[in-house]
């Protein structure tokens, strides 16, 4: 059984560019969440999607957007990249969006903005 | 707003010594608390959640609502326990709020 898969694993972008990160949840999991982990800090919540609807949004600017597809995979888009967007972006999946279920994390996408 | 604090960035112990990783939280409602672990070059993985009251790899954690704490404990540390440990809280909004993490180093 495949775990949560994220692509690409590493990415280097230039300031001002746009980036799309992808996530495939565990089979049977309908909820996907995105987190940003800056070096030396804990992960910070960006978005949660459940059944293709946004269920939560963290304190991130409108440059960050996401969507979930009918097969429950998800994309995170970041526009007008800043140096401060350099981080590990983690995707987590869960069976539902409710309490009582743990999240399974992917290995992440390491984004470097130069 | 919820907040999770892990006061120690680094905890270094000898093999066989007891370990306690501290986690304090602030949240006015009934939270769901988790411990996640990240071994070197591996993904973040769930270690414990308070609602299941289980022991994984010898680790236990008890939710103390009076002290708003969820400390992680193990009576005898092993070298393979060396990793980053994150305490996390899930409130009504379903998002996880993580602490800053504690690096546990178990020396031989």
Q: Who contacts B24 (Cβ-Cβ below 8 Å, separation ≥6)? A: B4, B5, B6, B7, B67, B68, B69, B70
Is residue A112 assigned to a domain? Answer: no
- Asked if A104 and B46 come within 8 Å (Cβ–Cβ), the reply is yes
C-alpha B67, offset from chain centre: 16
Domain that holds residue A69: 5-102
B7 touches chain A (CB under 8 A): no
DSSP label at residue A34:
E
Cβ count near B96 (within 10 Å): 26
- Asked if B86 and A43 come within 8 Å (Cβ–Cβ), the reply is yes
B45 touches chain A (CB under 8 A): yes
Q: How far apart are CA B84 and CA A36, in angstroms?
A: 16
Nearest to B99 among A42, A45, A99 (CB): A42
Per-residue pLDDT reduced to its tens digit, B59-85: 999 888 889 999 999 999 999 999 999
Domain spans of chain B, in order of start: 3-107
Per-residue pLDDT reduced to its tens digit, B13-53: 999 999 999 999 998 888 889 999 999 988 999 998 887 77
Which pLDDT score is estimated for A44? Answer: 95
Whether pLDDT at B2 is above 90:
no
Q: How far apart are CA A112 and CA A91, in angstroms?
A: 17
Q: How confident is the model at residue B100 (pLDDT cuts 50, 70, 90)?
A: very high
Question: What are residue B81's phi and psi, to 5 degrees?
Answer: -80, -10
- For chain A, the average pLDDT equals 93
Which pLDDT score is estimated for A97? Answer: 67
Which pLDDT score is estimated for A6? Answer: 97
Is residue A69 assigned to a domain? Answer: yes
Nearest to B95 among A33, A40, A41 (CB): A33
Cβ count near B26 (within 10 Å): 13
Q: CATH fold of B3-107, please? A: Immunoglobulin-like (2.60.40)
Q: For chain A, what is the domain count?
A: 1
Beta bridge partners of B21: B72
Which pLDDT score is estimated for A1? Answer: 55
Q: How far apart are CA A1 and CA A27, in angstroms?
A: 8
Q: How confident is the model at residue A32 (pLDDT cuts 50, 70, 90)?
A: very high
Is residue A109 assigned to a domain? Answer: no
Is residue A60 assigned to a domain? Answer: yes
- Asked if B32 and A99 come within 8 Å (Cβ–Cβ), the reply is yes
Q: Calculate mean pLDDT across residues A3-26.
A: 97
What is the domain-level CATH number for residue A46?
A: 2.60.40.10
**Burial tier of B72 (Cβ tally within 10 Å: 0-12, 13-18, 19+):** buried
B32 touches chain A (CB under 8 A): yes
CA-based nearest distance A114→chain B, Å: 24
B31 touches chain A (CB under 8 A): no
Which pLDDT score is estimated for A100? Answer: 60
CA-based nearest distance A2→chain B, Å: 14
């Amino acid at each position: 059984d495949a775990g949560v898969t994220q692509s690409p694993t590493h990415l280097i972008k230039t300031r001002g560019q746009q980036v799309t990160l992808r996530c495939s949840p565990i089979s049977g999991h309908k909820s996907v969440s995105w987190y940003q982990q800056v070096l030396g800090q804990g992960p910070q919540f960006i978005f949660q999607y459940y059944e293709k609807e946004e269920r939560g949004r963290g304190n991130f600017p409108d440059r960050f957007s996401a969507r979930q597809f009918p097969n429950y995979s998800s994309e995170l888009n970041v526009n007008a990249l800043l140096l401060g967007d350099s981080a590990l972006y983690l995707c987590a999946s869960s069976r539902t969006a409710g309490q009582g279920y743990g999240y399974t994390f992917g290995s992440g996408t390491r984004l470097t903005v130069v | 707003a919820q907040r999770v604090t892990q006061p120690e960035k680094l905890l270094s112990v000898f093999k066989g010594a007891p370990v306690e990783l501290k986690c304090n939280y602030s949240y006015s409602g009934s939270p769901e608390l988790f411990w996640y672990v990240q071994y070197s070059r591996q993904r973040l993985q769930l270690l414990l959640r308070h609602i299941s009251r289980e022991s994984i790899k010898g680790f236990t954690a008890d939710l103390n609502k009076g002290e708003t704490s969820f400390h992680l404990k193990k009576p005898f540390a092993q070298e393979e326990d060396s990793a980053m440990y994150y305490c996390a809280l899930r409130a009504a909004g379903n998002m996880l709020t993580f602490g800053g993490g504690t690096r546990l180093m178990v020396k031989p």
